[in-house]
Amino acid sequence: MNDISSHNKICSGAVILAGGDSKRLGRPKTLLDFDGISLIELIVKNLNLLFEEITVVTDHPELYRDLPVRLAGDLFTNSEKSPLRGIHAGLRTSNLPYQFVVACDMPFLNNRLIRYMEGFTADYDAVVPRINSYFQPLHSFYNRSCADVIEKQIKLGKCKVTDFYTDLHIKFIGREDIERFDPHQESFVNINTLAEYQKALSNYRRKNEERKIISGGE
Measuring CA to CA, which residue among 204, 170, 174 is closest to residue 186? 204
pLDDT tens string, the chain, 218 residues long: the values are 444 443 578 888 999 999 766 666 777 899 999 999 999 999 999 999 999 999 999 989 999 999 999 999 988 777 677 899 999 999 999 899 999 999 999 999 999 999 999 999 999 999 999 999 999 999 999 999 999 999 999 888 888 888 889 989 999 999 999 999 999 999 999 999 999 999 999 999 999 888 878 766 55
Contact 101, 15 (CB under 8 A): yes
The reported pTM is: 0.91
Strands (E), 10-153: 13-18, 54-58, 70-72, 98-103, 126-131, 134-135, 139-143
pLDDT given at position 2: 46
Question: What's residue 217's pLDDT?
Answer: 56
User: Which residues neighbour 62 within 8 Å (Cβ) at sequence distance 6 or greater?
Assistant: none
Domain 13-212, CATH homologous superfamily name and number: Spore Coat Polysaccharide Biosynthesis Protein SpsA; Chain A (3.90.550.10)
pLDDT at 5: 43
145 contact partners, CB below 8 Å, separation of at least 6: 125
* Strand boundaries in the chain, DSSP class E: 13-18, 54-58, 70-72, 98-103, 126-131, 134-135, 139-143, 170-173
DSSP state of 136: -
